[in-house]
Amino acid sequence: MKYVLKRLLQAIPILWVIYTITFLMVVTVPGNPFQQADRQIPEGIQRALEARYEIDNNWRYYWQFLAGAVRLDFGPSFQYRDWTNSQIIADALPVSLTLGLSAMTLAIVFGVPAGVLSAVRRNSWLDMGTLVLVLIGVSLPTFVTGTVLLLAFAMSLSWLPVGGWGRLDQIVLPALTLSLPFMAYITRLTRLGMLDVLGSDYIRTAKAKGIGRQRVIWKHALKNAFLPVLSFLGPAFAQAMTGSFVVEKLFNVPGLGQHFVNSVLNLDRGLIMATVMVYSALLVGMNLLVDVLYSTVDPRVRLSE
Q: Please state the closest distance from residue 271 (CB atom) to another protein, in A.
A: 12
**By C-beta, is 64 or 287 nearer to another protein?**
287
The answer to whether residue 287 forms part of the interface with another protein (CB under 8 A) is yes
Instruction: Tell the smallest beta-carbon distance from residue 82 to another protein (Å).
Output: 26
Is 147 a binding residue for another protein by CB under 8 A? The answer is yes
140 makes contact with another protein (CB under 8 A): yes
Q: Which residues, 6 or more positions from 274, have their beta carbon under 8 angstroms from its beta carbon?
A: 69, 74, 75, 85, 86, 88, 89
Task: HSE, CB side, 13 Å, CA atoms: give it for residue 19.
Answer: 22
Alpha helices in the chain (DSSP H): 2-28, 43-52, 58-70, 85-120, 125-139, 142-149, 169-198, 201-208, 213-215, 222-242, 245-250, 256-265, 269-297
Name residues contacting another protein, limited to 155-214 (CB under 8 A): 155, 192, 195
Name the residue type at position 190: T
The smaller minimum CB distance to another protein, of residues 17 and 70, is found at: 17
DSSP letter, residue 251: T
Contacts of another protein in 204-263 (CB under 8 A): 235, 238-239, 242-243, 245-246, 249-250, 260-261
Closer to another protein by Cβ: residue 10 or 57: 10
Please tell me the distance from the alpha carbon of residue 187 to that of residue 130, in angstroms, as a whole number. 8
**CA distance linking residue 175 with residue 286, whole number of Å:** 19
275 binds another protein (CB under 8 A): yes
Which residues are near another protein by CB under 8 A? 14, 17-18, 21-22, 25-26, 28-30, 135-136, 138-144, 147, 150-151, 155, 192, 195, 235, 238-239, 242-243, 245-246, 249-250, 260-261, 264-265, 267, 272, 275-276, 279-280, 283-284, 287
